[in-house]
Amino acid sequence: MNQHNINIVKGFAEYITLERSMSANSVEAYTRDVDKLLFYTESVLKDRDFEEITTDELAAFIEWIARLGMKPRSQARILSAVKQLYRYLLFEDIIEDTPADTIQCPKMGMMLPNVLSVEEIDSIEAAIDLSSNEGERNRAIIETLYSCGLRVSELINLKTTDLNSEEGFIKVTGKGNKTRLVPISHTALEYINYYVEKMRNHIAVNHENKDYLFLNRRGRKLTRVMIFTIVKQLVEAAGIDKNVSPHTFRHSFATHLVEGGADLRAVQEMLGHESIQTTEIYTHLDSSYLRDEILTFHPRSDKRQQILDVTENPPDDIIEPNYDVINAEEFDDVEELMKMKEEMEAKNHQL
């Protein structure tokens, strides 16, 4: 075991925490990915120091994790962490040049997220048993996820003081402890008020969790696993055959805004994306909607002529066209998947 490399990893974690202002979850994600390189140096490179590794050896490391069956997106994430590690070594004057920057990311292709239609979201909310106190809470959770486009970590960390019912905004604390104001719908506020009146005000709230908005029946803050479990159960009850996670509501929020003509910069602000390029994924989703619109209404379109023919000679019952949502592999922010293993014991808790 190379104690020198272990100390570098520890220093790297402190660096991205203090100098880069990364959240604890992001720091853990980067450290976990760098640990894979640490393991590789121990098992393959005979405990070589990080600063002695060449570009070719780093490329061989990426090939090695590929052979382990990791998907291109995971390979790219690990490579990103390794590049950050070597920039840290540059920052500390441990190396003069980084061997990592010339390594190309694996080709990932276009990864489009799953989204839900408004009708599917309505059916999920309709599947909630409102006869229970937890039902009021769960309905408020689903509506808040969709109406505000929150990450799971942002939802579970919402505090009662973050709500501004009069102005129709909530204060959201996102990655890097950055705060933003997000509009909240009248419906979501109404559901939250129902939950507070019928459940939250009638439970013994744990003192450490008294400021958090969404609590379990024991008066404790909800965990990520509990939100994932709630969503999974409701999606099954609604009979929706899609891979739906809490993050799917965030994707749906953004996609529906873009489809409705919202400015991309405004969507970026509401989602808390640092880069507009991250938000642009939703313009690719919207392209299927635009394609159907063009095929339907362009004067040279055969589809438009078919619609005109139907309009002039309508059948007894007209079935509205069903525009399929692009179905692709789900992607989530790394932060939403961290600490899942440690929180699995929460599955045994009553929701």
Q: Cβ-count burial of 135 within 10 angstroms (0-12 exposed, 13-18 middle, 19+ buried)?
A: middle
Is 273 one of the annotated active-site residues of the chain?
Answer: yes
- C-alpha span between 213 and 211 (Å, rounded): 6
Instruction: Tell me whether residue 250 is one of the annotated catalytic residues.
Output: yes
- Annotated active-site residue in 87, 200, 251, 273: 273
Q: Catalytic site residue 77?
A: no
Q: Which of 175, 221, 251, 256 is catalytic?
A: 175
- Sequence-distant (≥ 6) Cβ neighbours of residue 282 within 8 angstroms: 251, 254, 255, 257, 258, 264, 267
The β-bridge partners of 163 are 170
The catalytic position among 200, 250, 251, 256 is: 250
Active site residue 282: yes
Alpha-helix residue ranges (DSSP H) falling in 183-301 = 186-198, 224-238, 246-259, 264-271, 276-279, 281-297
Cα gap 172→307, rounded to integer Å: 45
Q: What is the dihedral of CA 191, 236, 74, 82, to 10 degrees?
A: 40
- Residue 298 a catalytic site member: no
Whole-number Å distance between alpha carbons of 13 and 24: 10
215 closest CA partner among 198, 238, 234: 198
φ and ψ of 23, to 5 deg: -70, 165
Active site annotation includes 151: yes
Query: Distances in Å between the alpha carbon of 73 and those of 22, 137, 184, 225, 332?
Result: 21, 35, 33, 23, 11
Per annotation, catalytic residue among 151, 224, 251, 256: 151
In the set 87, 221, 247, 251, the catalytic residue is 247
Catalytically active residues, by annotation: 151, 175, 247, 250, 273, 282
